[in-house]
A and B are shown apart, each in its own frame.
Chain A
Amino acid sequence: MTLQAYLTLAAMLFCIGFFGVMTRRNTIGILLGIELMLNAVNINLVAFARYHGDVSGMVFTVFTICITVAEVALGLALVILIYRIRRTAVADHLDLLKG
C-alpha cells in the first residue's frame, strides 16, 4: 500500500468529520465529528512515521490519543452540565457568545 492511500483515507475521514462538525445540530454529534478529524490526523502521523521509518510519529500519536480521550471526557461533561442547566443540547440554542 502506498502512502497516498493512507493519506487519502485520512483526508476523507477529516472531511467527513468536518462535515459532521459543521452540520450536526446536536452537540454530541459535533464532538463525534471532532473525534473523527483528530483520528484522521492520527492516521496521517502513523502513515508518515512508517514512510520515514521514524518512531517519533508513533509516539506522538499515542500522546494525541491520550489527550483526545481527556478532551472528549471534558467535552461530554460540559455538554451534560449545559443540558442540565439549559435543558437542551442543541448547538443552535447555545448562543451565549452572541455580541
Chain B
Amino acid sequence: MAATGDYALWAWLAPGVSFLLLSLVVPLRRSGRPAAWLSIVLSAGALAGAVLAWRATVPDMARRILWEWIPVEDGVLTSVGVLADADSTLMLILVALVSFLVQVYSLGYLADEPPPSLGRYYAYQSLFAFSMMGLVLAPNFVQLFICWELVGLCSYLLIGYWYQRPEAARAAVKAFWVTKAGDVGFLIGIVMLWSRTGTFDFSELFEMAQGGSDALTGLGLVMAFIYLGAAGKSAQFPFHIWLPDAMEGPTPVSALIHAATMVTAGVYMLFRASFLFEQTPEVLHAVGWIGAFTALFAATMACVQADIKRVLAYSTVSQLGYMMAAIGAGFASAGFLHLLTHGVFKALLFLGAGAIIHAVGSNDIFAMGGLARRMPQTFVVFLIGTLSLTGIPFFAGFFSKEEILGATWAGGLTMPFAMLVLAAFLTAFYMFRVVFIAFFGAPVAAAAGAPAHGAHGAHDAAHAHDAPATMTVVLWVLGLLALAIGIGFARSYPESEFVAPGWITPLAIGVAVGGIALATAVYPLRWISPERLARRLSVLGEAAHERFWLDDFFALVYRIGILGLSRIVGWIDRYIVDGILNVLSAWTLTAGDRLRRIQSGQAQDYIYGVALGVLLLMVWMRWPR
C-alpha cells in the first residue's frame, strides 16, 4: 500500500513548520512579504502532499499513523496522528487548495498593509491551515476537538485582524463566544461518549458500531451534545448569528474560514461520525429539520442585505443548512459532496466579492453598479460562482444540490424538503439580485455613503478595474475548477446511495430558473418594483432586515442573563467574600494595636514576665494530678 498516511502527514506538517518559523523568527515575520512567500511556498507543498495522499488512497482502506499521547495504566487514553482515507484526503485537498489560493490572493488584496501586520496575517493563515488539516486528519475525537478549538482561535484572530476597528473586535469576540457555547456541548458529548465506550478512536468506535455493541445503544443525549458543537461551528440556527458579523475580517479570510473550510468543520465532523449518528435516528431527524430551517431562514435574510459580503455570509449559512439536512436525512455523503463543491464555488464568490470591494472600496452593492463592463474578468468568474450556487446544470453546485434534495426526499423528510426547495428558489433570487445590482445599471449615489472597508477608500465604482494578477489568476483557477467539477459530474454521474424520484432534477432546475426569472423581473426589467415587493412583504422584509430580532434577543439574554449573573456574583464577591476577609483583617489590626501596649520597652518588665512564666511552669509541673 502506498504511503497515503505519510503524504498526508507531510501535508499537515508543512503549514505547521511555516507557523513555527513565522512565530519564532520575529524579524522574518516583521519583514512582511518574505514571510508571505514562505507561507505560500509551504502551503503549496501542503497542497502537493494532499493531492499525492489522495491519489495514493485505496478504496475502503484507511491508513493510520498514530503516536501514543496520554498513557494511562491500562494502555493509552488517546493518541495523535493521521487517519488518511479517501474522504479525509479529499477534504484535505479542499483545505490545502483553498488555503493556498487564498494566501496567494491575499498578497494582492493586502498589498497596502504594513509589513509587520502582513507577517502576522500569514502566521495566522499558516496556523489555520495546520489546525484545519489536523482536524480533517484527526483519528480520534480528542485531536479533532483540539484542532477544532485551534481553528476557532484562528477564526477569532483573523476576524479581529483589523483590531483597531471596534466592529471587528466586537465581531471577533462574538464569533468566539457563540461558537464556544456550542463547543462546551461538544466537549461534554465527547466525554460522555468516552465514559460509555471507553475510547475516543474513530476506528474503534466504527468497529463497535459494526459489531452492534451494546455500549452504543441509547446514545441520544450524547449525540445531541456532540451535534451542539457542530451547530455552533457550522452556524446552524440559532447559533448562526456569529457568521454574518464575522465578515468584518479581511475578505480572503471570509473566503477561507467562513465559507470554504472552518464553518464546514461541523458538517465534516457529522459526516465523520455519521456511523454514530445512525444509531440515534431521533437526533438525525432534529439535525435535518434544523438544517432545512436554517437553510430557508438564512436565505430570507440574504434577500434583504445590502452588504455583498453579508449576502454571501447568509448564503453560506443557508448552504450549511443544506448539508446538515442531507446528513439528517441519513445520507451523509451527499452532504459531504456539497461541502466540497460549495467550498470551491463559495471561495470563488467571496474572492470575487473581495476583488470588487478592492476596486470599489465599499461593501455596499448599491454603491457598485455597472461593474460588468469595467471588471469583465471578475464579472465572468463571479457569474460562474453564482450559477454554481444557484444550481444550474454544468456548474459545480448543481449536482450536489440536487443530490441533497434527493437525499432529503428519500430520507422521508418531506417538510424539510419543501423548505429546501423554497430556499433554492430564494438562493437564485438573492444571488442574481446581487449580480444585477452590482454588475449592471448605475451605482446608486445615495447609498455611496456606506463605510469603506479596509484601507482602500479612495476608489469608486466609476473608476473600478480588474484586480492585479495575483488575484485574478486565483479567481480563474477557482472558476475553471467550478466549471470542471460541474462538467465532470455531468459526464460521469457517481451513483448515489439512495433512489431519488426522477422529477427532482427538473424541479431543482425549475426553482433555480424561477428564482433567476424573478430577480430579472425585479431588478433589470423593473416589471415588479422592488419597493412595492418590499412593501407587500413588509412584515417579513422588516423581520429579515432586523435578522428576525435574534441578535437582539441574544444581546438581551446576554445582558439580563450573563451580566445579571455577573453582577450578583460580583456583589457576593465584593460584600461577602471580601467582607469576611476585611473583617478578619480589621480584627487582627485592632488586636495588634491593643496588644502592643504590653510592650513597655523596660528590660525589667520582660524579666518579670519570664519569672512569672517559669513560676507558672513549675506550678503546672508539680500540680497534683
CA distance A20 to B611 in the complex (A): 14
Q: Is A98 an interface residue (CB 8 A)?
A: yes
Q: Is A91 an interface residue (CB 8 A)?
A: yes
Complex: chain B residue closest to A25, CB-CB: B604
Q: Is B602 an interface residue (CB 8 A)?
A: yes
Please tell me if the beta carbons of A99 and B597 are within 8 angstroms of each other in the complex.
yes
Q: Given A18-B611, A22-B608, is A30 in contact with B600 using a C-beta cutoff of 8 Å?
A: no
Please tell me if the beta carbons of B599 and A99 are within 8 angstroms of each other in the complex.
yes
Q: Which residues of A contact B611 (CB under 8 A)?
A: 18, 22
Please tell me if the beta carbons of B602 and A96 are within 8 angstroms of each other in the complex.
no
Q: How far is the CB of A97 from chain B (nearest CB, A)?
A: 4
CA distance A98 to B605 in the complex (A): 11
CA distance A84 to B44 in the complex (A): 88
Q: Is A94 an interface residue (CB 8 A)?
A: yes
CA distance A95 to B602 in the complex (A): 5
Please tell me if the beta carbons of B603 and A30 are within 8 angstroms of each other in the complex.
yes
Contact of B604 (CB < 8 Å), options: A22, A96, A98, A99: A22
A-B contact count (CB 8 A): 30
CA distance A68 to B600 in the complex (A): 28
Q: Which residues of A contact B72 (CB under 8 A)?
A: none
Q: Is A13 an interface residue (CB 8 A)?
A: no
Q: How far is the CB of A76 from chain B (nearest CB, A)?
A: 16
| In the complex, chain A residues 58-99 whose Cβ is within 8 Å of any chain B Cβ | 91-92, 94-99
Chain B 459-491 interface mask (CB, 8 Å, partner A; 1/0): 000000000000000000000000000000000
Number of interface residues of B (CB under 8 A): 12
Chain A 10-40 interface mask (CB, 8 Å, partner B; 1/0): 0000000010011000000010000000000
Please tell me if the beta carbons of A95 and B604 are within 8 angstroms of each other in the complex.
no
Please tell me if the beta carbons of A21 and B607 are within 8 angstroms of each other in the complex.
yes
Q: Which residues of A contact B597 (CB under 8 A)?
A: 99
Q: Is B24 an interface residue (CB 8 A)?
A: no
Q: Which residues of A contact B608 (CB under 8 A)?
A: 22
CA distance A96 to B601 in the complex (A): 6
Q: Given A18-B611, A99-B596, is A91 in contact with B601 using a C-beta cutoff of 8 Å?
A: no
Q: Which residues of A contact B603 (CB under 8 A)?
A: 30, 91, 94, 97
Please tell me if the beta carbons of A95 and B601 are within 8 angstroms of each other in the complex.
yes
CA distance A98 to B602 in the complex (A): 7
| In the complex, chain B residues 268-323 whose Cβ is within 8 Å of any chain A Cβ | none
Please tell me if the beta carbons of B607 and A98 are within 8 angstroms of each other in the complex.
no
CA distance A30 to B597 in the complex (A): 24
Complex: chain B residue closest to A92, CB-CB: B602
Please tell me if the beta carbons of B599 and A91 are within 8 angstroms of each other in the complex.
no
Contact of B600 (CB < 8 Å), options: A18, A21, A22, A95: A95
Q: Which residues of A contact B604 (CB under 8 A)?
A: 21-22, 30, 91
CA distance A95 to B605 in the complex (A): 11
Most central of B597, B601, B608, B611 by chain A CB within 10 Å: B601
CA distance A30 to B604 in the complex (A): 9
CA distance A60 to B613 in the complex (A): 27
Q: Given A21-B607, A22-B607, is A99 in contact with B598 using a C-beta cutoff of 8 Å?
A: yes
User: B residues engaging A (CB < 8 A)?
Assistant: 596-604, 607-608, 611
Given contacts A92-B602, A99-B598, 14 further A-B contacts (CB under 8 A): A18-B611, A21-B604, A22-B604, A22-B611, A91-B603, A91-B604, A94-B603, A95-B600, A95-B601, A96-B601, A98-B599, A98-B600, A99-B596, A99-B597
A-B contact pairs, 24 of them (CB 8 A): A18-B611, A21-B604, A22-B604, A22-B607, A22-B608, A22-B611, A30-B603, A30-B604, A91-B603, A91-B604, A92-B602, A94-B601, A94-B603, A95-B600, A95-B601, A95-B602, A96-B601, A97-B599, A97-B601, A98-B599, A99-B596, A99-B597, A99-B598, A99-B599
User: Which are the 8 A-B pairs with shortest beta-carbon distances?
Assistant: A98-B601, A99-B599, A95-B601, A99-B596, A97-B601, A91-B603, A95-B602, A22-B604
